[in-house]
Amino acid sequence: MVRVLLYLAVFAALAVGAVWLADRPGEVSVLWQGYRIETSVAIGVIGIVVLAMLAMLGWGMLRFVLGLPSAFSFASRARRRARGFEAVSRGMVAIGAGDPIAASRHAVDARRYAGDAPLTLLLEAQAAQLSGDRGRAEAAFKTMLDQPETRVLGLRGLFVEAKRRGDMAAARAFADDAVRRSPSLAWANDALLDFHTSAGDWQAARTAVERRAALRLADKADAKRQRAVLLAAEALEARGGAPEKALAAALEAVKLAPGLTPAAALAGRMLAERGDIRKAVKLLEAAWKEVSHPDLAAAYLDVRPGDSAQDRLVRATTLAKLRPADPEGVLALTGAAIHARDFAKARSTLKPLLAGGASVRACLLMAELEEAEHGAAGRVREWLARATRAPRDAAWVADGLVSDTWMPVSPISGRLDAFVWTVPPATLGSHAPALDDVLADLDDSTPLIEARAQVIEPEAAIIAVAAPAPASAPPPPPPAPEPAAQDKPAPAPAPAAPQPEPPAPAAIAAPVEAQPAVETRPAAELVTAAAPPPAAETKPEPSKAAAGPAAATAADTRPKPVIFPVSHAPDDPGLDDAAPVEEKKGKFRLFG
C-alpha cells in the first residue's frame, strides 16, 4: 500500500511539472562547436532526462564488465562458505549422535571450506574430544584464544581439559582468566568457589559467593545459606587460636541461618564459656525450635558448668517442652533422667519412642537404664544385642557418605553445604525386627535381677567337654557288654552349638528331681577346655547304681546335662515381664 501511494505521488508530481512547463512556454538555444540547437523548454528537459538515463546505463555496463573477476571470486567464496556451514551442521549432528568418525570427517571438510571460523574450531575441538584425542582438542581450544569472539570459549575448553587430566593449578588459572575477561560467566565463578572451598580459603570463598549473588548467578536464599556455612567453617577453624574471631563468625552465621546446627552449637558453648548464660540459652532455644539435634541438646544441658544432675534434668524438661514428642527431645530427657537416677521418669519418657520401633540410641539408653537401676548384666547384654540390629539413627549424610561430624564441604564431590542431617539412605527401607517386643521389657513391676543374671547371649560360644572319671571316683560295676570300653574314659563329644535347643522328649517327661545331680554355675565358668574337672566336683550317683549295672554304665558314659534357669532367651525378648518368674522359666540343656 505504501508503494502504491509513493508511485501515485511521483506521477502526480510529474503531471504537475508538465502542466507547469506547458503553461510557461519558452525557447532553449545551444551553441556548441559551430552548431546551433534551438528548441522549446519542454523538449530540452526531456532531452536532458534521456541523456541522464543513457549515462547511467553506460556506467552500469562499465562496472559490470570491470567487476566480472571479483564477481566470480565472490561466488566461489560463497559456495565454499555454504559448503563449510553445511559440513559444520552435519558435524554437529554427528557429535550429537555420538559418531566420532563422521564428526572428524565433517570437521576436516569444514576446516577446508570455512578455515578458522568459530564454528569450525568448535566442531574440530568437540570431534577431538569425542574421539579421545586430547592433544588435538587442546590445540583447537588454544587456536580459539587468538580470536576475541572465541577467546572465552577456548578458556572453558582448556579448563575442562585441565580438570580432566588432573591439573588443578592450570584449571584454576583458566577460570581466573575467564572471570577477569567476563565476570558474568557462571561456570568460572562456580569453579573458583569450588577451588576456594577445597583449599579451605573461607574468606575468598565468601567473596566468590557474594560476587555470584551480585551478578544474580545464584538465588539470594542459597547465597545467604552458603555465607552462613562458610562463616561456620571459619569459626570452627579459628576456635582454638582466635576465640573472639570464632565467636563473631559463629554469631553472624547463626544470624544468617538460625537452623545451622554446627554454628548454633558452637556459639552457644562459647557464650557459656564466657559466662553469658542468658544469651547462650536464648540462642540455643531459638536454634532448637528451628531444628532438633543432639549437639544442640548437649550444648543446652551443659550451658552452666557445675550444675547438678537434677538441674540438668529440669533443663532437659524445658527443652523437651519446646518441641513436644520430638525424638531428640525424648532421648535428651531420658538421658538426663538416668543421670539424675529418676528411673521411673526415664522409662515413662522413653516408652512412646519405643512404640514406633527402637533405634540404636534408644536401645543404648535402655541398656544404660538397666545397668544404672538394677545392674542386670543380662538385660544390658540383651539391649546391646538389640542395638546391633536396630534401625540406625539420623546422621550427617552427603553424597552417600555417613559422618558423625559436620563438614562444610563434601569430601566426595567437593560441594559446599552438602551434608544433611537425615537417616542414612541404606537404612531407609529397613524395618525393626518383628520379634522385638520392646514395650514388654519396659514393665519393671517384677524384679528379674537374679533371673536375668544368667541369660547367655547366642553369640557366646559355650564349649562343654566330657572329662574322664577321676581316680577318686568309685569304679563302675563289672557287668558290662564291652569291658574294654569301661577301662577307657569316654570320648570327648564335639563342641556344643551356641544356639540353645529344647531338651529331648524323655527329658521333658521326666521330673526335675529324677535328673542327675548337676551343678549350676555362671556363664563365664562354662567355657571349659578338654582338661578334667576337679575331683571334688565329681560325686557318685547312687540312684543310677541301684538301678542296675547296665543303667549305671550308660549313665557314666553319657555327658551330664547342665540346666540353666532363665526367664527367656536373649533373641526372644517378646515375653511379658509382668508375668511371674516361675511361669516364664525355661531350661537350656548343655552337655558337658
- Which residues neighbour 591 within 8 Å (Cβ) at sequence distance 6 or greater? 464, 466, 493, 496, 559, 560, 561, 562
Element (H, E) at 467: none
Nearest C-alpha neighbor of 524 from the set 389, 378, 370, 326: 378
**What is the bridge-based pairing of β-strands 395-398 and 35-40?**
unpaired
Q: Which of 509, 402, 528 is nearest to 464 (CA)?
A: 528
| Dihedral sign of CA atoms 524, 528, 534, 536 in order | positive
- Give the burial class of 152: count Cβ atoms within 10 A of its Cβ; 0-12 exposed, 13-18 middle, 19 or more buried: middle
Task: Identify the H or E element spanning 390.
Answer: none
Residuewise pLDDT in 10s, the chain (592 residues): 888 888 889 888 888 887 887 777 788 888 888 888 888 877 888 888 888 999 999 998 888 888 878 777 777 878 888 888 899 999 999 999 999 899 989 988 888 888 878 888 889 888 998 988 888 899 989 989 988 888 999 999 999 999 998 999 999 999 999 999 999 899 999 999 999 999 999 999 999 999 999 988 888 999 999 999 999 999 999 998 899 999 999 999 999 999 899 999 999 999 999 989 999 999 999 999 999 999 999 999 999 988 899 999 999 999 999 998 899 999 999 999 999 999 999 999 998 888 877 889 999 999 999 999 988 889 999 999 999 988 889 999 998 899 989 999 999 988 999 999 998 875 444 443 433 444 445 544 333 333 333 333 333 333 333 334 444 444 444 444 443 333 444 444 444 444 444 443 333 333 333 333 434 344 333 333 334 444 444 444 444 333 444 434 334 444 444 444 433 333 333 333 433 333 333 333 333 3
Query: What integer pLDDT is reported at residue 111 of this predicted model?
Result: 85
Q: What is the structure's pLDDT at 328?
A: 93
Question: Which helix H or strand E contains 501, and what residues bound it?
Answer: none
In this predicted structure, what is the pLDDT of residue 310? 93
Instruction: Look up residue 312 and give its amino acid.
Output: R
For residue 426, what pLDDT is reported? 57
**Could you tell me the three cell numbers for 302?**
551443659
Give the CA count within 13 Å in the CB-facing half-sphere of 304: 14
* CB-CB neighbours of 174 under 10 Å: 24
The enclosing H or E element of 141 equals helix 134-144
Q: Can you give the pTM of this predicted structure? A: 0.61
Residue with cell 578458556: 155
What pLDDT was estimated at residue 450? 38
What's at 50, amino acid-wise?
A: V
pLDDT tens digits, one per residue of 51-87: 899 999 999 888 888 887 877 777 787 888 888 889 9
Predicted confidence (pLDDT) per residue in 291-341, tens digit:
999 999 999 999 998 889 999 999 999 999 999 889 999 999 999 999 999
8-state DSSP, 442 = G
Residue 147 near residue 116, CB atoms below 8 Å: yes
Instruction: Give how far Cα 166 sits from Cα of 8, 128, 145, 578, Å.
Output: 74, 19, 22, 66
Q: CA 138, CA 73: separation in Å to the nearest integer?
A: 34
As a whole number of angstroms, the distance between CA 411 and CA 414 comes to 6
Cα angle, residue 94 at apex, residues 91 and 97 outer, rounded to 5°: 155
Angle in degrees, 0-180, between the axes of helices 186-199 and 168-181, rounded to the nearest 10? 140
Q: Hunting for cell 561466488 — which residue is that? A: 75
Cα–Cα separations (whole angstroms), residue 139 to 42, 109, 129, 134, 158:
74, 18, 11, 9, 9
Q: Measure the CA–CA gap between 349 and 334, rounded to whole angstroms.
A: 6
pLDDT number for residue 475: 47
Q: Please give the pLDDT value at position 43.
A: 81
CA distance 140 to 26: 77
Task: Quote the pLDDT of residue 550.
Answer: 40
Q: Is 391 exposed, middle or buried (0-12, 13-18, 19+ CB in 10 A)?
A: middle
Q: How far is residue 110's CA from residue 86's CA, in Å, rounded to a whole number?
A: 8
| Contact between 84 and 110 (Cβ < 8 Å) | yes
Exposed e or buried b for every residue in 533-568, given b needs 16+ CB within 10 A?
beeeeeeeeeeebeeeeeebbebbbebbbbbbebbb
In what order do the strands lie in the sheet containing 420-422? 401-403, 395-398, 420-422
Q: Where exactly are the structural domains of the chain?
A: 9-66, 483-591
CA 170 and chain centroid, separation: 29
Residue 232 Cα to chain centre, angstroms: 20
Contact (Cβ atoms closer than 8 angstroms) between residue 11 and residue 4: no
Q: SS3 for 523?
A: helix
Q: What single letter denotes the amino acid at residue 213?
A: A
Please choose, from the candidates 85, 155, 154, 151, the residue with its C-alpha nearest in 3D space to the C-alpha of residue 120: 85
pLDDT at 465: 34
* Bridge partners for 562 per DSSP: 590
Rg (CA), the chain: 48
